[in-house]
Amino acid sequence: MDNSVLQQAKQLLADKSKKIVIVSHVNPDGDAVGSSMGMYHFLKNDKFTNISVISPGSFPEFLAWMPATEQIIIASENQSKARLAIAGAELILCLDFNDMGRTDQLAEALEKASAPKILIDHHPDPLDQFDLVLSQVSASSTAELIYEFILALNKQHLIDDKIAQCLYAGIVTDTGSFSYACNNPRTYYITAHLISLGIDGEKIQRQIYDTYSEDRMRLLGYCLSSNLKVMLQCKTAFIYLSKNDLSRFNYREGDTEGVVNYALSIKGVQIAAIFIERDDVVKISFRSEGDVNVNTLAREYFNGGGHKNASGGHSSENLENTIKTFEKLIEDISKDDFRLLRVSRDNH
């Protein structure tokens, strides 16, 4: 961790009565909630007295077990409270995103806020919207960076089981239970330390992954049996869901989390996608294998971004046309084995 950045962060955290806002991205995942709540409990343990955690939107139920998630201000449900907290903040901690646009309707309020903003994140190419940037693309998760940050502040003794549970959840979810973005011994040392504090890693795994409703499980079955298209000659497979499909299975926040990974599990598939019809746009998630960079794909063609092997974006065309556009694009860029997307630089 860069020493001068760390010193500046220390200064910004010198006054424990400061009004601190912790904010993460829209469609919060385990790392967004885990890193936010890990930071929240750390600041509490460090005797900060005025901390608000804001999420642009609601989070999936399978993350609600993390201690104190009831404290989270869901901006889409309580705009005025979220905006008031941001306007009154004296320090803003931006976690697990690097482009204010990822905070949805909060972006403008955050950009206007007078408080200094510290970014802690692991996505490539942060925008120039933050006063202090702690960014490490090689980290498995932002949760891992929160751990490193606490250590760099010499506050390791404050890591209790609440912090450990939240950070563990962030690491587990962002690595797909240690199956990607984790070829780094450091991730395992950190995980080992968190487990050594007495948390129940097996229980956390069950709470996140073995809590499907019947509807969610049947939606997954439907995706795989009816709405999966495999373009094996293009090393691509994708899944699509219309609004009707979602309502048929009583869709709830988080129900499509992880579905795209099944398409990537097909032998010979290097790019997977899922297209989900929402009210105004089609939300897209991309996943890829190895050095095929779907961050570029999301950025260049689908108004999004993310990591090398996990990215997302959206399209304003309808579902059918979005899929057509994607198929044509894939047919085109797969002709030379995705040369356009292959990268040599270390870009998770």
The residues of the shown chain that bind ligand 5GP, judged by CB under 6 A, are: 25, 27, 29, 99, 102, 285, 304-307, 310-314
Decide whether 174 or 255 has the Cβ nearer to Mn ion.
Answer: 174
Segment lying near Mn ion (by CB under 5 A), choices 16-24, 92-100, 243-251, 282-290: 92-100
Among the listed residues 9, 20, 27, 31, the single contact to Mn ion using CB under 5 A: 31
**301: closest CA among 287, 280, 322?**
322
* Smallest gap from residue 223 Cβ to ligand 5GP (A): 15
Give CA–CA dist 159/151, Å, rounded.
9
* Smallest gap from residue 121 Cβ to Mn ion (A): 8
Choose the contact partner of 36 out of Mn ion, ligand 5GP, none; CB within 5 to 8 A by kind.
none
Tokens 């220390």 locate to 10
Decide whether 189 or 212 has the Cβ nearer to ligand 5GP.
Answer: 212
Decide whether 191 or 285 has the Cβ nearer to ligand 5GP.
Answer: 285
Q: Is residue 257 part of the contact set for Mn ion (CB under 5 A)?
A: no
DSSP one-letter string for 66-108: STTGGG-EETTT-HHHHHHHHHH-SEEEEES-SSGGGGGGGHH
Choose the contact partner of 310 out of Mn ion, ligand 5GP, none; CB within 5 to 8 A by kind.
ligand 5GP
On the 0-12 / 13-18 / 19+ scale of CB atoms within 10 A, 42 is: buried
**Strands of the 91-95 sheet, one edge to the other:** 73-74, 51-55, 20-23, 91-95, 117-121, 132-135
Among the listed residues 39, 72, 149, 174, the single contact to Mn ion using CB under 5 A: 174
Handedness of CA 138, 143, 147, 153 (dihedral sign): positive
Decide whether 203 or 243 has the Cβ nearer to ligand 5GP.
Answer: 243
Residues 136-155 that bind Mn ion (CB under 5 A): 141-142
Give CA–CA dist 189/47, Å, rounded.
27
Q: Which residue is nearest to Mn ion (CB)?
A: 31
Q: Is residue 245 part of the contact set for Mn ion (CB under 5 A)?
A: no
* Smallest gap from residue 33 Cβ to Mn ion (A): 10
Answer yes or no: are the C-beta atoms of 302 and 267 closer than 8 Å: no
Tokens 């962030």 locate to 170
User: Could you tell me which residues are beta bridge partners of residue 288?
Assistant: 271
Please name the residue ranges forming H helices in 25-68: 30-45
Segment lying near Mn ion (by CB under 5 A), choices 23-31, 48-56, 60-68, 270-278: 23-31
Tokens 């004296």 locate to 90
Answer yes or no: are the C-beta atoms of 69 and 53 closer than 8 Å: no
Segment lying near Mn ion (by CB under 5 A), choices 40-48, 65-73, 96-104, 332-340: 96-104
Choose the contact partner of 31 out of Mn ion, ligand 5GP, none; CB within 5 to 8 A by kind.
Mn ion
* Smallest gap from residue 248 Cβ to ligand 5GP (A): 22
Segment lying near Mn ion (by CB under 5 A), choices 40-48, 80-88, 90-98, 127-135: 90-98
Structure tokens at 81: 């409270």
* Smallest gap from residue 7 Cβ to ligand 5GP (A): 29
Residues that bind Mn ion (CB under 5 A): 31, 96, 141-142, 174
